[in-house]
Structure formats: structure tokens, C-alpha cells
């Protein structure tokens, strides 16, 4: 009977876990819908703005001051690492940490690399091995363009002051609830389409002047690119957590069914043994 009690306790424990994972799945599904709508609506604007900025950078002559397109030898690199504040989302955070570690150890092996971590999970792991210049765990509590702009203002100023020669962001790009793509984008310097050799430079008529366009539009584009990455990561997090909790619920259900079968088999065996003992005792008395 002790064995039966142990199985009953395991069934109760697995059932409790299954309820928790099922609830977490439903919560993430509800949050995913809102986050997915936000990034889907934002992408066309962000992509078009990025395309415009790249064409604009190629149209500006060398006499126009443009600190954000300054191409320098890369010695000091800043990487923005976007993860989540909470776990239970499969390989969402570990894939980002692996990508950043790989880049530091291979691509930037002989460079000075600093990190800005946006999300608690990435910071907890990366700070043990690398220099973290800034950590912001509160960004996802109020994910607004203003908060993203405040972070962007800091590293944009450091780039123009030549503290860093290149600034990248590593994040999970949202594809669907089951798929998140680890993506690396260069925030600074801005690379024109002419330098990428992807298309001919568009001949723009500037209104207002080129200088005013640089001063207003280019910084906004950088901030928008960071904000889009944060939105992408936020949607990806809920998609990854929903998928992970769905699988966990299915596994818990399967385990509970197996335990119930084992419990019934053990209970039937115990009943059969009791019957055999009674029959054996009755035969012994009659003889």
C-alpha cells in the first residue's frame, strides 16, 4: 500500500504542474496576440524608414556632417543583447547567449567588446564572463518608444564621441508562435545602399536642408530600429513561452496517464494478493 500512496502523491504533483503550465500557456497566448499585432503593424513603417535612411545616406555628399555614417576601423564594439526577464520559454534566452558568446570569441576575438543587456536572463549569464556596460531589466515593464529612445541616446552619443566604432543588436525576430529567428543587426554606423551595392542611389530633393534631415531623421531611424528589435523580442518571448508550456502540458498529461495506469495495475495486484491470502487462509482452516 505504501507503493500506492507514493503513486497517488506523484499523480497529484503532476496534475498540479499540469494546471500551472496550462494556465501559463493561456496567459502567454493572450499576451502574444497583442504583441504580435504591435510588431506586425510596426514593421512596414520601420522597414520603409530604414530603406529611406540607407538611400539618404548614399545621397549625402562628403561635405555634409553625418556622424552616424562615420566608417572607422573597428576596435571597440558595443553589442546590445535583448533577452527576457523570466524563464520557462524554451531555448529563447540560451540561443541569444550562445550567439553573443560565439561572436565575441570568433568575429570580435581581438576587439574590445562591451555589452548592454536588456533583460535579466541574459545579464545573469553574460556578466559572469564579459563586461556589461549597462543593464536594463525594466524596459519590458513599460515597452514604449520613449524608453527605447533613452537607451538609444546613450549609445548614439558614445558612438559620436568615438568610444565605440561599431554598435550591434542581437535579438530574437518573431516569425510565428513556434519559430523565433536569432538576428544580428548593425545599428551604427548606418550603411548606405550604395555601400551595400544592392541598388542605385536615389536622387532626393531635400526639403528642409540636408543638415536638418541628418539631425532629425537619422537619429529617429536608429531609435526606431532598436524599438522594433525590442518589440520583436517581446512577441518572440511570449510565442516561445506559449509553445514551451504547451509541450510541458502535453508531457505532464502523458505522464499522469501513465501513472494512473501504473496505479490501477498496482491496486489490482494488491487486491488479487489479498484475495489469494483469504482463500489460502480459508483452505488452511478447512483442512
Q: Which of 41, 3, 5, 10 is nearest to 258 (CA)?
A: 10
- Segment 115-125 shows an average pLDDT of 92
The angle at the Cα of 91, spanning 86 to 97, to the nearest 5 degrees, equals 80
Domains of the chain: 23-243 (3.40.1380.10)
- DSSP symbol at 204: P
Q: Is 56 a catalytic residue?
A: no
Distance in angstroms (rounded) separating the CA atoms of residues 137 and 83: 9
Predicted model pTM: 0.83
Q: What is the pLDDT of residues 73-103, one digit of tens each?
A: 999 999 999 999 998 898 999 999 999 999 9
Q: What is the pLDDT of residues 186-217, one digit of tens each?
A: 998 887 655 554 455 556 677 777 667 767 78
Q: Which of 89, 214, 245, 248 is catalytic?
A: 89
Amino acid at each position: 500500500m505504501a507503493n500506492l500512496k507514493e503513486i497517488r502523491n506523484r499523480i497529484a504533483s503532476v496534475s498540479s504542474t499540469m494546471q500551472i503550465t496550462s494556465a501559463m500557456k493561456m496567459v502567454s497566448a493572450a499576451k502574444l496576440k497583442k504583441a504580435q499585432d504591435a510588431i506586425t503593424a510596426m514593421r512596414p513603417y520601420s522597414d520603409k524608414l530604414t530603406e529611406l535612411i540607407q538611400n539618404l545616406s548614399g545621397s549625402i555628399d562628403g561635405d555634409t556632417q553625418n556622424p552616424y555614417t562615420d566608417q572607422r576601423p573597428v576596435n571597440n564594439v558595443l553589442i546590445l543583447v535583448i533577452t527576457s526577464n523570466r524563464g520557462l520559454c524554451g531555448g529563447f534566452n540560451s540561443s541569444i547567449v550562445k550567439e553573443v558568446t560565439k561572436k565575441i570569441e570568433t568575429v570580435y576575438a581581438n576587439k574590445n567588446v562591451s555589452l548592454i543587456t536588456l533583460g535579466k536572463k541574459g545579464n545573469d549569464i553574460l556578466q559572469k564572463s564579459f563586461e556589461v556596460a549597462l543593464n536594463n531589466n525594466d524596459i519590458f515593464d513599460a515597452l514604449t518608444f520613449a524608453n527605447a529612445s533613452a537607451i538609444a541616446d546613450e549609445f548614439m552619443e558614445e558612438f559620436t564621441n568615438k568610444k565605440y566604432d561599431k554598435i550591434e543588436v542581437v535579438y530574437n525576430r518573431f516569425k510565428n508562435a513556434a519559430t523565433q529567428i536569432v538576428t544580428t543587426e548593425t545599428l551604427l554606423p548606418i550603411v548606405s545602399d550604395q555601400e551595400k551595392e544592392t541598388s542605385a542611389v536615389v536622387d532626393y530633393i531635400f526639403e528642409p536642408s540636408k543638415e536638418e534631415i541628418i539631425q532629425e531623421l537619422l537619429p529617429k531611424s536608429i531609435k526606431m530600429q532598436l524599438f522594433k528589435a525590442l518589440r520583436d523580442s517581446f512577441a518572440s518571448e511570449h510565442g516561445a513561452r506559449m509553445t514551451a508550456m504547451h509541450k510541458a502540458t502535453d508531457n505532464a498529461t502523458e505522464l499522469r496517464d501513465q501513472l494512473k495506469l501504473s496505479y490501477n495495475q498496482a491496486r489490482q495486484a494488491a487486491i488479487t494478493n489479498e484475495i489469494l491470502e483469504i482463500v489460502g487462509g480459508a483452505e488452511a482452516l478447512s483442512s
